[in-house]
């Protein structure tokens, strides 16, 4: 039975028991029942902290009940009965609220062996501090059982590993074996931590073994996974657990999988395969060694005109190909553009992408997402028409996003001046439309053709914007810039 249900059942039985005892005593039911529910609520709100206050309040209310209904009788017996009952109720309430708080605070995607999903942001890696293991003491055989259940290593392989050790080196418990497997690089710290804590069902997806977390977002988690046979590393993407069972989110992730698998371009992240494990959809993509453009600017500041033009031109080539395949990205921004270790830009996160010809009828998941007023994309890089109706945009919204990205690369700032999302939205949707800040103010060193390309990309009125990514490519003549310092 569900633990939460058991707690509520225990509370109900306690209250009924208190009422039954009250009926047998001279005070009657009316003297005790009114304060049982408030005390229970106090336990939930206080999460178990004000125990002394609750005990005092319990006694005072019992005495008050006696004064209101002084029919004689065993007052001290009543006080003891009430105090005991209230303490039981308080403990149940405190335990229940703690459990609910723990569930609410979990944020890391894990999958149990039964297929259910968890969030657990405070899951420790194995460190020298023994407290990192939590309160659970795990035997050697217990840890071996969990590793085998995770399918990261076979039971026979583990037994062979232990037996091959010298007698004085053999670990005596699960912690010792975990440390040794990490040291010999049979397990990563992330794998060992999950397995030790019993999170054994989310480490293998088909032929891919999860080794670490690359990044987490509001909608998804990206994991570092290695192919069992080739030993090559890939990026494995799954939905964030808090939306993993949301039909709209699942539908959107399926669209992303469908989109990525049919795109093949040097400037777009390459899809390898996809599948479903324990009811969890996953997408395997090439693992890009590099850094996204947002992180680069935040760390190093605004980049040179040559570099910015080169990066944006590469992104435009990838988007030009995508548009030719009838795919609109709808979330072009610096953090979705990755610079790999070979200097190549890779377009990431096609989770908001949709086909140009996709005119999904009202009532399906995509229409419902739009109808709820949910805006797809980031406001700083969002075209005005996308803020009004993200379902009806065309490929020119990507041109605007790329223009706003160019401005960010050159200035480290947003094209919108507002400090809050609300202020930025009002500025984005202002009537009549406001022109975006001129590039020359922040970057007087920018050549005229670059400032003009930027201006034409971020026109708030769609019809006045550059009409295609091919025009963007022609406008960004990065080869004319000789010095990287300009």
Phi/psi of residue 308, nearest 5 degrees:
-60, -45
Residue 100: pLDDT band with limits 50, 70, 90? very low
Name the 3-class secondary structure at 436.
Answer: coil
Interior angle at CA 155, CA 212 and CA 227, nearest 5:
35
Residue 484: pLDDT band with limits 50, 70, 90? very low
Judged against a pLDDT cut of 80, whether residue 52 lies above it is answered with no
Whether 334 and 308 have beta carbons less than 8 Å apart is answered as no
Domain ranges of the chain: 3-105, 124-198, 210-287, 290-480
Task: Tell me the pLDDT tens digit for each residue of 443-474.
Answer: 999 999 999 999 999 999 999 999 999 999 99
Looking at residue 77, its pLDDT comes to: 56
Looking at residue 359, its pLDDT comes to: 43
Looking at residue 436, its pLDDT comes to: 92
Residue 143: pLDDT band with limits 50, 70, 90? very high
CA distance 376 to 374: 6
Judged against a pLDDT cut of 60, whether residue 7 lies above it is answered with no
Looking at residue 126, its pLDDT comes to: 43
Residue 251 CB partners (closer than 8 Å, separation 6+) = 364, 365, 366
Burial pattern 376-408, b for ≥16 Cβ within 10 A else e, equals: bbbbbbbbbbbbeebbebebbbbbbbbbbbbbb
pTM above 0.85, yes or no: no
For 152-169, what is the mean pLDDT?
Answer: 90
For 43-70, what is the mean pLDDT?
Answer: 51
DSSP output for 295-347: HHHHHH-SPPHHHHHHHHHHHHHHHHHHHHTTEE-S---GGGEEEETTS-EEE
Interior angle at CA 329, CA 357 and CA 479, nearest 5:
120
ω into 432 cis (within 30 of 0): yes
Judged against a pLDDT cut of 70, whether residue 83 lies above it is answered with no
For 204-218, what is the mean pLDDT?
Answer: 88
For 348-368, what is the mean pLDDT?
Answer: 49
Judged against a pLDDT cut of 50, whether residue 221 lies above it is answered with yes
- Name which residue leads in pLDDT, 412 or 129: 412
Instruction: Give the whole-number percent of the chain exceeding pLDDT 70.
Output: 64
Residue 153: pLDDT band with limits 50, 70, 90? very high
For 170-174, what is the mean pLDDT?
Answer: 89
Between 17-21, 53-57, 160-164, 363-367, the lowest mean confidence (pLDDT) is in 363-367
Whether 179 and 188 have beta carbons less than 8 Å apart is answered as no
DSSP code for 426? H
Judged against a pLDDT cut of 70, whether residue 229 lies above it is answered with yes
Crossing angle between the packed helical segments 51-68 and 36-46, to the nearest 10 degrees: 170
- Name which residue leads in pLDDT, 200 or 225: 225
Between 9-18, 162-171, 347-356, the lowest mean confidence (pLDDT) is in 9-18
In terms of C-beta density within 10 A (0-12 exposed, 13-18 middle, 19 or more buried), how is residue 419 classed? Answer: exposed
What's the topology of domain 210-287?
Phosphorylase Kinase; domain 1 (3.30.200)
Looking at residue 363, its pLDDT comes to: 33
Name the 3-class secondary structure at 354.
Answer: strand
For 239-268, what is the mean pLDDT?
Answer: 86
Looking at residue 332, its pLDDT comes to: 95
Looking at residue 352, its pLDDT comes to: 61
Task: Tell me the pLDDT tens digit for each residue of 417-451.
Answer: 988 888 888 899 888 888 899 999 999 999 999 99
Judged against a pLDDT cut of 70, whether residue 72 lies above it is answered with no
Residue 7 CB partners (closer than 8 Å, separation 6+) = 92, 95, 96, 99
CATH H superfamily, domain 290-480: Transferase(Phosphotransferase) domain 1 (1.10.510.10)
């Amino acid at each position: 039975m569900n633990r939460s249900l058991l707690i509520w059942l225990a509370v109900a039985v306690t209250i009924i028991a208190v009422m039954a005892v009250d009926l047998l005593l001279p005070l009657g039911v009316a003297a005790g029942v009114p304060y049982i529910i408030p005390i229970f609520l106090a336990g939930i709100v206080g999460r178990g902290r004000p125990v002394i206050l609750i005990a005092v309040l319990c006694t005072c209310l019992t005495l008050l009940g006696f004064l209101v209904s002084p029919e004689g009788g065993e007052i001290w017996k009543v006080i003891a009965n009430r105090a005991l009952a209230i303490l039981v109720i308080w403990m149940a309430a405190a335990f229940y609220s703690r459990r609910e708080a723990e569930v609410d605070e979990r944020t890391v995607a894990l999958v149990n062996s039964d297929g259910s999903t968890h969030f657990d942001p405070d899951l420790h890696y194995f460190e020298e501090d023994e407290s990192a293991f939590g309160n659970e003491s795990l035997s050697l055989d217990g840890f071996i059982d969990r590793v085998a259940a995770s399918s990261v290593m076979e039971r026979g392989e583990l037994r062979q590993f232990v037996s091959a050790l010298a007698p004085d080196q053999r670990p005596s418990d699960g912690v010792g074996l975990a440390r040794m497997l990490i040291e010999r690089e049979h397990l990563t710290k992330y794998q060992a931590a999950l397995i030790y804590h019993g999170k054994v069902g989310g480490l293998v997806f088909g032929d891919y073994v999860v080794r670490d977390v690359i990044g987490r977002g509001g909608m998804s988690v990206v994991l570092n996974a290695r192919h069992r046979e080739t030993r090559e590393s890939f990026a494995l993407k799954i939905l964030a657990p808090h939306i993993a069972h949301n039909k709209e989110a699942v539908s959107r992730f399926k669209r992303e999988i469908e989109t990525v698998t049919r795109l093949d371009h040097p400037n777009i992240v390459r899809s390898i395969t996809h599948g479903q494990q324990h009811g969890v959809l996953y997408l395997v993509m090439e693992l890009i060694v590099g850094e996204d453009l947002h992180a680069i600017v935040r760390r190093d500041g605004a980049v040179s005109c040559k570099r910015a033009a080169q990066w944006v031109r590469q992104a435009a080539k990838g988007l030009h190909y995508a548009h030719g395949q009838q795919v609109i990205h709808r979330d072009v921004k610096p953090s979705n553009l990755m610079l790999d270790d070979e200097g190549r830009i890779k377009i990431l996160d096609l989770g908001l992408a949709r086909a140009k010809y996709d005119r999904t009828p009202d009532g399906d998941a995509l229409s419902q997402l739009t109808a709820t007023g949910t805006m797809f994309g980031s406001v700083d890089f969002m075209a005005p028409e996308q803020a009004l109706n993200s379902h009806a945009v065309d490929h020119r919204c990507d041109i605007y996003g790329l223009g706003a990205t160019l401005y960010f690369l050159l200035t480290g700032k947003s094209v919108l001046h507002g400090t809050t999302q609300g202020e930025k939205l009002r500025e984005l949707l202002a009537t009549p439309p406001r022109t975006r800040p001129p590039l020359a103010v922040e970057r007087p060193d920018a050549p005229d053709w670059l400032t003009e390309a930027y201006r034409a990309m971020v026109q708030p009125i769609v019809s006045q914007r550059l009409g295609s990514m091919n025009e963007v490519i022609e406008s960004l003549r990065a080869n004319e810039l000789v010095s990287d310092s300009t």
